């Protein structure tokens, strides 16, 4: 996942309009228009950095004359007290950009940090950790970039780049076999889309295996013991992904069960922003 900078610029413009509106009245009333200053962003806790370039774009969008000097890059491990970047220029501009820049870099660094923690727990197993579509509206590309920065892998980007037959698709289509056959009728024309299907129990898995014609099977909300049984049934014929109820305390058990992928919604859905602070330099 790479960032589309034009899309990021549009997002930043909307975020600044939301925050500044008709003007930063707190700054306008007490900071002289000609005043200049410097500020530095420091880490107040350990973590994985993500969003430096986005923060730079925020400051430059507010004021093209702001000088931005970065000392750290995305993906670096931060220690408490590290200086991440230094900005200098008009004091009003620094204050107007501060909150929006921090909103981006703190959230993205939180995602990268949490992803890195999950990845480290199973680093020796070869199992890959995937994100999901549980992202902040309009921030999916940036949040998936943060997952990659933390060492995770991106699942599908949206509803348009992979066929993923979940429980409601199956139920609405009239069953597993109907859903798979209809998907393959489409991909016979458009062959670039992979087909993944979700199963809720071993009975559904048996139907998928009898039907065939998929690329990946997702075992949803299976316990580890049942996953081990499912892995034996699949016997290497399809990629295996597991999802549901997976956290830091049990992810290793799932990784050792013989699966290929583990998808974790918490990578982007349940995030603590990394504690960073912009202070006068």
- What's the confidence (pLDDT) of residue 185? 83
- pLDDT, tens digit, 9 for 90 and up, residues 34-65: 999 999 999 999 999 999 999 999 999 999 99
Q: Residue 75: pLDDT band by 50, 70, 90 thresholds?
A: very high
Both tokens of 127, joined, read 């199992």
For the chain, what's the residue count? 281
Is residue 1's pLDDT more than 90? no
* Residue the block writes with tokens 């998808």: 263
Q: Residue 190: pLDDT band by 50, 70, 90 thresholds?
A: low
**Could you give the percent of the chain with pLDDT greater than 70?**
98
Domains, the chain, with CATH or none: 5-118+272-280 (3.90.1170.20), 120-269 (3.20.20.70)
Is residue 183's pLDDT more than 80? yes
- What's the confidence (pLDDT) of residue 193? 85
Q: What is the mean pLDDT of residues 126-140?
A: 96
Q: Residue 109: pLDDT band by 50, 70, 90 thresholds?
A: very high
Is residue 81's pLDDT more than 90? yes
Q: What is the mean pLDDT of residues 30-37?
A: 94
Distances (CA, A) of 62 to 15, 20, 96, 97, 103: 11, 10, 7, 6, 15
Is residue 2's pLDDT more than 90? no
- What's the confidence (pLDDT) of residue 18? 97
Is residue 207's pLDDT more than 90? yes
Is residue 11's pLDDT more than 90? yes
- What's the confidence (pLDDT) of residue 191? 63
Do the Cβ atoms of 85 and 66 come closer than 8 Å? no
- What's the confidence (pLDDT) of residue 189? 60
- What's the confidence (pLDDT) of residue 188? 64
CA dist 242 and 155 (Å) reads 13
Q: Residue 270: pLDDT band by 50, 70, 90 thresholds?
A: confident
Q: What is the mean pLDDT of residues 15-34?
A: 94
Both tokens of 211, joined, read 């039907």
- pLDDT, tens digit, 9 for 90 and up, residues 64-73: 999 999 999 9
CA dist 227 and 247 (Å) reads 16
- What's the confidence (pLDDT) of residue 94? 97
Q: Residue 192: pLDDT band by 50, 70, 90 thresholds?
A: confident
- DSSP SS3 for 135: coil
* Residue the block writes with tokens 């009245």: 25
Q: What is the mean pLDDT of residues 248-269?
A: 96
Q: Which residues are catalytic?
A: 99, 134, 166, 198, 220
- What's the confidence (pLDDT) of residue 110? 98
Is residue 257's pLDDT more than 80? yes
Q: What is the mean pLDDT of residues 250-262?
A: 97
Q: What is the dihedral of CA 104, 106, 112, 117, to 10 degrees?
A: -160
């Amino acid at each position: 996942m790479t960032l589309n900078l034009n899309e990021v610029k549009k997002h930043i413009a909307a975020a600044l309009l939301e925050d500044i509106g008709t003007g930063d009245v707190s700054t306008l009333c007490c900071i002289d228009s000609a005043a200049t200053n410097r500020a530095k962003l420091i880490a107040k806790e350990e973590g994985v950095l993500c969003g430096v370039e986005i923060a730079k774009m925020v400051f430059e969008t507010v004021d093209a004359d702001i000088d931005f000097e970065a000392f750290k890059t995305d993906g670096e491990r931060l220690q408490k007290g590290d200086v991440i970047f230094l900005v200098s220029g008009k004091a009003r501009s620094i204050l107007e950009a501060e909150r929006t820049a921090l909103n981006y870099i703190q959230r993205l660094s939180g995602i990268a940090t949490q992803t890195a923690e999950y990845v480290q727990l199973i680093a020796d197993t070869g199992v890959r950790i995937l994100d999901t579509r549980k992202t902040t509206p309009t921030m999916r590309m940036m949040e998936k970039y943060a997952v990659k920065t933390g060492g995770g892998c991106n699942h599908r980007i949206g509803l348009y780049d992979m066929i993923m037959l979940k429980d409601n698709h199956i139920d609405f289509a009239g069953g597993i076999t109907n859903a798979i056959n209809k998907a393959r009728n489409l991909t016979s024309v458009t062959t670039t889309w992979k087909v993944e299907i979700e199963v809720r129990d071993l009975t559904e898995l048996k139907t998928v295996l009898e039907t065939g014609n998929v690329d990946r099977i997702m075992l949803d909300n299976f316990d580890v013991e049942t996953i081990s049984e499912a892995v034996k049934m699949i016997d290497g014929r399809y990629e295996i992904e597991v999802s549901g109820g997976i956290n830091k305390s049990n992810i290793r058990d799932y990784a050792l069960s013989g699966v290929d992928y583990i998808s974790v919604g918490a990578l982007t859905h349940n995030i603590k922003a990394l504690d960073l602070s912009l202070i006068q330099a």
